[in-house]
Amino acid sequence: MKIYFTLNGRNVDIDAVPTDRLIDVLRDQLQLKGVKEGCGEGECGACTVLLDGDPVNACLMLAGQVHGKDLLTVEGLTTDGALHPVQAAFAETGAVQCGFCTPGFIMSTVALLQRIPTPTDEQIIHALAGHVCRCTGYRKILDAVRRATELLAQEVPLN
Amino acid sequence: MEYVRATTLEDLRTHLQRSGARIICGGTDLLVKMRHGMAAPDVLIDIGELEELAKVQVIDDEVHIGAATRESILLRTPQVGDHLPLLCQVLQSLGAEQIRNRGSLGGNLANASPAADSAIPLLLYDARLRLVDATQDRWVSIDEFLLGPGKTVLSSGEFIHTVAIPFQPPEWRAFYHKVGRRRALIISIASLGVLIDYQDGVVHEIRVAAGSVAPTAIRLRAVEELLAGRALSKGLIEEARLLASASVCPINDIRATETYRRTVVGNLLERFLMSLLDPMA
């Protein structure tokens, strides 16, 4: 089936089996290895991508369901080689250890901060509750989100 | 496996009559079941873009929610927040952001897990479901709808069209707690919801619903009858706690034992009633 959607800001059309998992299409057909499979069941958040701006698990979506949608993966955050402020914050605060959970956390953080530019700790925890991290103990990840709010506030808005 | 997108009710009615056809909306339960070999549809009918089934309307002191409405949309819909605050409270604890952005209210009900989160507030609200197939259009109560683990009254070819929920009475108080191993993405070990009209120390009316402690989510009607019209006291609360524990029929499974679940249900009720009796404690 032909599937048309917007991927990381570009219109794409692909030929895919509509019942193939989105995570497999993104990783194998489109070479977007930033979408990680931690569990394949929507329990770990490692495969989180933004669908029309909202976090979803790519392992629980079918290729056919992305038709006509706007999809953003972690690869779509960097522009011209420069890290997105959320990525910079995660790196800066030491919130990345093995890095496997990181793209997923980053995508949920991007979505959160677009909706709530200065979230409370409770709001951060609620937004990130769909992710697990085996390495960090989570504190640095919370620091990263707080640091990201500062970095984003410093950004000069483009008109 | 075939995949079709239903963009009209006609599409859906037609395709659902085919052998081995199943509806997919959010897919957050179905795809997991398929992965574990517990479901193997021949045809997947995607209703995720079927706008007719994703409307939220207020009609005569009820909120009518289309079965394909995503949980996250409900949480952002003012009419739901205004009139059904307990439903919002429960939905906040369902899954996680990623699940709520895909999962639908109808899907949570049709999947009919004994742990189905949305069943608790719907039982407390005495919600009704509109069920439709090629020839029939009928309403059933949420009580009648749920039959057992994974079982509902839906016949083959039939789907949930709308969930109709009477407004939560504003003077009533609500309580909900879900017990599980982590904060999010839990299939509850036990859950309890209460709606109560409590004035001047007297229970005018109370509704109690429990999840994961019976083949379906259930109302604890014996407990409701015990408490209706009575003044709360420590003694009465203790009676209610014991009766709640006795009223449920949990099982041992990988998440918890029968005894634990039975005890927790009683304790949750006691905790809530004590908070009414003695708010300073």
Q: Which tens digit of pLDDT belongs to each residue from B169-186?
A: 999 999 999 999 988 998
Contacts of A44 (CB under 8 A, 6+ apart): A38, A101, A104, A131, A132
Nearest chain B CA: its distance from A61 CA (Å): 7
**Is the CB of B204 inside 8 Å of chain A's CB atoms?**
no
Give the one of B3, B72, B98 whose C-beta lies nearest to A57's C-beta.
B98
Report how many helices (DSSP H) and strands (DSSP E) chain A contains, helices first: 5, 5
- pLDDT for position A158: 53
How far apart are alpha carbons B140 and B37 in whole angstroms?
31
Tokens in use for B268? 């949750």
CB B220 within 8 A of CB B213: no
Q: Per CATH, the architecture of A2-76 is what?
A: Roll (3.10)
Question: What are A69-94's pLDDT values in tens digits?
Answer: 999 999 999 888 899 999 999 999 99
List, in sequence order, the alpha helices (H) in B93-233.
97-100, 105-111, 119-125, 142-145, 221-227
- pLDDT for position B175: 97
CATH of B2-166, one of 3.30.465.10, 1.10.8.870, 3.40.50.720, 3.40.50.300: 3.30.465.10
CB B112 within 8 A of CB B144: no
The complex scores an ipTM of 0.96
Nearest CA in chain A to B2: A19
How far apart are alpha carbons A159 and A21 in whole angstroms?
38
How far apart are alpha carbons A37 and A25 in whole angstroms?
12
Show me where the domains of chain A are located. Answer: 2-76, 85-154
How far apart are alpha carbons B27 and A151 in whole angstroms?
36
CA distances (Å), origin A68, targets A63, A71, A90, A110, A145: 11, 10, 31, 22, 31
CATH of A85-154, one of 1.10.150.120, 3.30.70.330, 3.40.190.10, 3.40.30.10: 1.10.150.120
* H-helix or E-strand spanning residue B130: strand B128-132
B216: left (phi over 0), alpha (psi -120 to 50) or beta: beta
Nearest chain A CA: its distance from B154 CA (Å): 25
- pLDDT for position A80: 86
Give the one of B27, B32, B184 whose C-beta lies nearest to A61's C-beta.
B27
Show me where the domains of chain B are located. Answer: 2-166, 173-277
When pLDDT is cut at 50, 70 and 90, the band that residue A111 belongs to is very high
Q: Which of B34, B43, B45, B98 to probe the A interface (max A CBs under 10 A)? A: B98
With a cut of 90, say whether residue A151 has pLDDT above it: yes
Residue ranges for chain B with pLDDT beneath 50: none
When pLDDT is cut at 50, 70 and 90, the band that residue A155 belongs to is confident
* A42·B28 Cβ contact <8 A: yes
| Mean pLDDT within A35-62 | 98
* H-helix or E-strand spanning residue B281: none
Sign of torsion over alpha carbons B152, B154, B159, B160 = negative
How far apart are alpha carbons B46 and B58 in whole angstroms?
26
Polymer length of chain A: 159
How far apart are alpha carbons A129 and A124 in whole angstroms?
8
CA distances (Å), origin A53, targets A29, A113, B21: 22, 11, 31
How far apart are alpha carbons B92 and A108 in whole angstroms?
16
Smallest CA-to-CA distance from A121 within A139, A142, A105 is with A142
Topology at the third CATH level for domain B173-277: Enolase-like; domain 1 (3.30.390)
Rounded to two decimals, the pTM is: 0.96
Give the one of B27, B48, B97 whose C-beta lies nearest to A130's C-beta.
B97
- pLDDT for position A159: 47
